[in-house]
Amino acid sequence: MATKKRPLQPAEAARVLGVSAKTLRIYEEWSLISPPRTESGWRIYRPEDIETAEKVVSLRNLGLSLKQVRQVMQGDTSCLETALAHHADDLSSRILELQATVRQVRQLRAVAASRGDVALSKLPEIIGTKPAIAATLELPWPWGGEPFELRSPSALNFIVGPLASGKTRLAKGIAEALPGGAFLDLDRRLQFGSETLDADPTHQARVETALQWLEEEGADVTEDLTALISGMERRGPGVLVVDLIEQELSAATQEALASYLRTFAQNSRPLFAMTRSSSILDLEHVGPDTGIIYCPPNHAPPSYVEPYPGAQGYEAVAMCLASPQVRKRTAGVVARWQPKSPPDTQTTKA
């Protein structure tokens, strides 16, 4: 990557590197970069700082934890082999997808050459201007059964909405609508606690590796985190939908988990995570390959929100998210309402 010769301000450096200014501060806290400061105390990033940061960003994109990145930067490259193997697998998967698209384009060319026309209805999906629809589901109560077109899921997807917006029911509906879908509810400690790991040594090894990575990122390895990772690491043929993924996790653990989701989503089945945490869904880190579904408070049909400021629904999503400290103050709060039909009182957790 070409860098400018003049020192850059934090916002400029972040833009050049494709990360956020917050991420650069985290790198500095881990002594991965050491930008000098001006006389007035402002950070500046010299060309040599940018070059170092580029290496850090590349290593993070390979899936290395901050501790592993520091080891590599200090000369210990023993952890690179596994990371490069995963990266090679990911590239191979992308090649297969591109090859399938190339075959479709060639088929269209053949039809155009023989008949003089092209099936225009197929172009948006093949060229990428129209999202492929994976399933259509009837929205459950509190909606009125309206059809909702569920796009082919990205590797990482979020379901967001205010209290009592129906997002939990939507999450369950998504798990039921997609082939092989599984729903990981809030009782995951009973199903996937540490006492269940001994039954499958291969699964146990995956969980222990993930927990070690998370601990190196600063997570508190608790029973709740172990159960969550155990449930997520269960291999299955379809998507996994997780109910309120930050439940009972500390602020440091949520930040580490967010890095884990971004790093490892490409190497597993598609994931839908329901969240109201700004640490889990940090909008500064969201890219175009991440899906966001927003459930409005007035029970209008859910909608997809593009992950950039100014997009329709972006500000509403941002308003639904709060820091772990704020979410902790509202933990256990429930919303109750008495609908006309059905007559029984409904309860939704915050």
Residue showing tokens 């092209």: 118
- CA 179-185-191 angle, to 5 degrees, is 100
**Within-domain flag for 4:** no
pLDDT at res. 350? 44
Mean pLDDT value of segment 162-168: 91
Give mean pLDDT, residues 313-333.
81
Look at residue 92 and tell me if it is in a domain. Answer: yes
Q: Which residue has the higher pLDDT, 283 or 2?
A: 283
Which token pair is 299? 């029970």
Query: What element of type H or E holds 337?
Result: strand 334-337
Among the candidates 127, 144, 162, a domain finishes at 127
The reply to whether 138 and 222 lie within a common domain is yes
Q: What percent of the chain has pLDDT over 90?
A: 32
On average, the pLDDT of the chain sits at 82
Question: β-pairing, 334-337 with 303-304?
Answer: unpaired
What is the percent of the chain where pLDDT is above 70?
83
Kindly state whether residues 200 and 233 are assigned to the same domain.
Answer: yes
Q: Using N-to-C axis directions, what is the helix angle for 21-29 and 47-61, rounded to 10°?
A: 90
Max Cα distance, the chain (Å): 72
Residues 228 and 102 reside in one and the same domain: no
Mean pLDDT (whole number) for 126-135: 64
Residue pair 235/249 in contact by the 8 Å Cβ criterion = no
In this predicted structure, what is the pLDDT of residue 336? Answer: 53
> Residue 101 sits in which domain range?
82-127
4 pLDDT more than 90: no
Task: State the total domains in the chain.
Answer: 3
pLDDT surpasses 60 at 1: no
pLDDT over threshold 50, residue 346: no
Cα 45 from Cα 13, distance rounded (Å): 7
pLDDT of 105-118, one tens digit each?
777 777 676 766 65
pLDDT surpassing 90 at residue 259: no
Whether residues 118 and 138 share a domain: the answer is no
Same domain, 158 and 121: no
Q: Is the confidence at residue 341, as pLDDT, over 60?
A: no
Residue 246 shares a structural domain with residue 103: no
CA–CA separation, 51 vs 252, rounded Å?
28
Q: Please say if the pLDDT value at position 245 is more than 90.
A: yes
Mean local confidence (pLDDT), 11-34: 88
Whether residue 34 lies inside any domain: the answer is yes
Average pLDDT over residues 275-289: 86
Give the global pTM: 0.72
Give the model's pLDDT for residue 125.
59
Confidence of residue 2 (pLDDT cuts 50, 70, 90): very low
Closest CA to 275 of 310, 317, 239: 317
Mark whether 69 and 87 lie in a shared domain.
no
End-to-end CA distance of the chain: 44
Residue 120 and residue 151 share a domain: no
Is the pLDDT at 349 greater than 50, yes or no? Answer: no
* Helical spans, DSSP H, in the chain: 10-17, 21-29, 47-61, 66-73, 80-115, 123-127, 167-177, 188-192, 201-216, 223-232, 251-264, 314-320, 324-329
Q: Which has more pLDDT, 147 or 265?
A: 147
- Which range has highest mean pLDDT (120-129, 148-157, 160-169, 338-347)? 160-169
**Band of residue 119 on the pLDDT scale cut at 50, 70, 90:** low
Does some domain include residue 1?
A: no
Q: Are residues 112 and 181 in the same domain?
A: no
pLDDT digits (tens, 9 = 90+) for 60-117: 878 788 888 898 999 888 888 877 877 777 677 668 777 777 777 777 777 676 766 6
The CATH number given to whatever domain includes residue 316 is 3.40.50.300
Rounded to whole angstroms, the Cα distance separating 239 from 232 reads: 10
Here the CATH number for the domain that contains residue 62 is: 1.10.1660.10
pLDDT computed for residue 344 by the predictor: 46
In-domain check, residue 5: no
Amino acid at 82: T
* Better pLDDT: 22 or 279: 279
Residues 167 and 46 in one domain: no
Q: Which two tokens stand for residue 31?
A: 């002594």
Please tell me whether residues 47 and 154 are part of one structural domain: no
Domain-terminating residue out of 73, 93, 109: 73
**Same domain, yes or no, for 179 and 299?**
yes
Residue 2 lies in a domain: no
Q: Is residue 148 part of a domain?
A: yes
Structural domain includes residue 293 = yes
